[in-house]
Each structure stands twice: as C-alpha cells, then as structure tokens.
Structure 1
C-alpha cells in the first residue's frame, strides 16, 4: 500500500496543471509514494459556481484527511505571500497532525525578502510596510504559522527527498 501525498499549491491554476501534476506524481511514484492532486476525481461542471466551489472544498479536505502527508508549493502567488488556499490546506493538515513539506521557500528571512519588494520603514518597535503594519522579524522565510508548521525547502526536489526520507527512513 502506497503512502498518499496531497499536492497543495497554486499549481492548479497553471495552464498545464494536468501535465505538472502528472510529472510530480511520477516523481513520487518512483519513490514508492502516491501523489494525490486537487484535480483528481470528477466534479460536475453543470453545478452552479457556489455549489461547484463547495464540492471542490469538500473533495480537497477529504483528500487531505486521507493523505499521509502534504507536499506544498509555497511560492509567492499574486503578491508577496503564498496562495491563500494553500495556506488553508496547510493549516488543515497541521490540525490533523499531518507532516507538511513545503518548497519554493527561499532560505532568506521574510523581512529581507520583503525589503526588496515593498517599501519598509523602521520605528522603535518594528519594521513597517506602507500601511503601517509590522513585518514579522523572527528570521523565518515565511509567516511563522507556515514556517513552523511545515518543513521548508528551497526546491521541490529537496522537499520530495526530505518527505521520502521522513516517510520511508529505512529506504533512504
């Protein structure tokens, strides 16, 4: 019986999403693991948008619940943070005590990454963005809730290797 790995990330929005997930599933299969994509299964496109959204939500949380671990793409998406749906999926997996392995997380503290992307100012308490909101400064590459709940890696290959070693320690 293969261990199931839920594949989280904004990759569902790629124009080649099926090919991307097929490649990732093959990579996992070579390690004796079964990749489970958010795109797996059949959903009726005839449903109203709200009903379809609810069906996708329910299918994906069921996939996470059935998975042995989560592999997540936490690349910045449409801004300077990971995809919000992926962040939710990681939180759900963490609540279920599933191990999470993330990739596309540069080994650079978030404050330093943001400094090159958005204007920041410093006051006596914190670095702040243009809206006056404090920027976390824990030396972590992402918001602490993501960085602490997931084992973060710069590349997908590194995350997959760490995931396989964690799940099959005797084989690696």
Structure 2
C-alpha cells in the first residue's frame, strides 16, 4: 500500500457517475463522504489532463485516471447496471487495473439478486435475445468480476448510501483508516 501511517488512505471512486449532467457535484459529495470517513476520495474528473500535452482528450483522460488509480490505496466501484444489465465497461477496467496492481477493490450495486434474476424480462429460460446463455451461478455480477473483488456490497442502497456501505466495508483492508 502507498499509504503512510500519518496520511489518510486514498480511494479511487470508479463508476459511471462521471457521465451525469451533475457529475462534478456528485464527485464533491462522494469526496465529502470519504473525508467524513477519514479517507481521501480521488474522483476521475479531478485527474491532471495537462500531463500528456497535446495527446487526444480521450488518451489524456485514460492516462490521468491510470495515474489516479496508481496513486490510490484502494478502489471503490459503482457497479450498478449501466446502459443495460452489466456495469460500465470503463468502471470494470478501472477495477481490474487496480486488482492487477494488488489493490483492494470493493464494488457496490443497488439491486439485489443474481445476474439472471436482475435480467428478468430480458431472457427466456437463461438465454438472451441473441441466443447467448446468461450465466446462473447465483452471483450479482459476472463470475470473473464477482470473484475478483475484495467485497461486493449489494442494495438496496443507492447513490451515497451504497458508497458509504462500500467504503465502510473497505476500511478493514486499509492501514491508517480511521475507525468507524
């Protein structure tokens, strides 16, 4: 972990929250909650885009978010259904990158139930509209993601309540985190 004993643990806040019209306000609220819990919240929109000079904006965002994740002690990922029944692919990448770096990752999603249950109405007998099998292992997410995370916090919490539950769960893996 990169956290020194006298510094607050740094948590990267992954999720599709950056796509909302009020994304900056959401970020401030998430960071305020982190501060309340003795953590420093790193919000993707706060990354330094100038470090990559004239690179295309998409590449500057990618590099800035990679740097934030690398500087973090852990990641908390909003894994709610996004544009369908699966989490945002960018959020999944961020969680996977953190896992590859050996950082704890806690995911949260507001809807309880297995992936198959959450896809009710979008499959018939475990087969989707394209004829693909919908996995049925009783997990809330794809098995590769569900088994990779340090913990998955499942609803009915949404928004900041879900983030709070995930951050509280994460604290056990962070040296220097303030007690609850």
When normalised by structure 1's length, the TM-score is 0.86
Kindly report structure 1 stretches of 4+ aligned residues shifted beyond 3 Å. Answer: none
The separation in 1 between residues aligned to 2:72 and 2:165, in whole angstroms, is 20
From 19, 28, 32, give the equivalent of 2:25: 19
- 1:118 to 2:125 alignment: no
Counterpart for residue 81 of structure 2: 76
Residue 118 of structure 2 aligns to a residue in which SS? helix
**Map of 1:1-80 to 2, 5 A cutoff?**
1-43=7-49, 51-80=56-85
RMSD: 2.0
Between Structure 1 and Structure 2, whose CA radius of gyration is higher? 1
Q: What is the CA–CA distance in structure 2 between the aligned matches of 1:105 and 1:146, rounded to whole Å? A: 16
Structure 1: 5+ residue runs without aligned partners? 122-126
Moved more, 97-106 or 7-16: 97-106
Name the residue aligned to 2:166: 159
User: Aligned partners of 2:172, 2:102: CA distance in 1, in Å?
Assistant: 18
Higher relative contact order (CA 8 A, sep 6+): 2
Q: CA deviation at 1:128?
A: 1.4
Note closer, same or farther for the CA distance 1:60–1:109 as it changes in structure 2 (3 Å cut). Answer: same
In structure 2, what is the equivalent of residue 171 of structure 1?
Answer: 179
From the superposition, tell whether residues 105 and 97 of structure 1 become closer, same or farther in structure 2 (CA, over 3 Å).
farther
CA distance in 2, matches of 1:32, 1:91: 25
Scaled by the length of structure 2, the TM-score of the pair is 0.83
Corresponding residue of 1:124: none
Matches within 5 A, 1:88-127: 88-114=93-119, 116-121=120-125, 127=126
1:28 to partner: Cα distance: 0.7
Q: Which consecutive unaligned segments of at least 5 residues does structure 2 have?
A: 1-6, 156-161
Determine if contact 1:70/1:101 at 8 Å carries over to the other structure: yes
Q: Aligned pairs, how many? A: 163
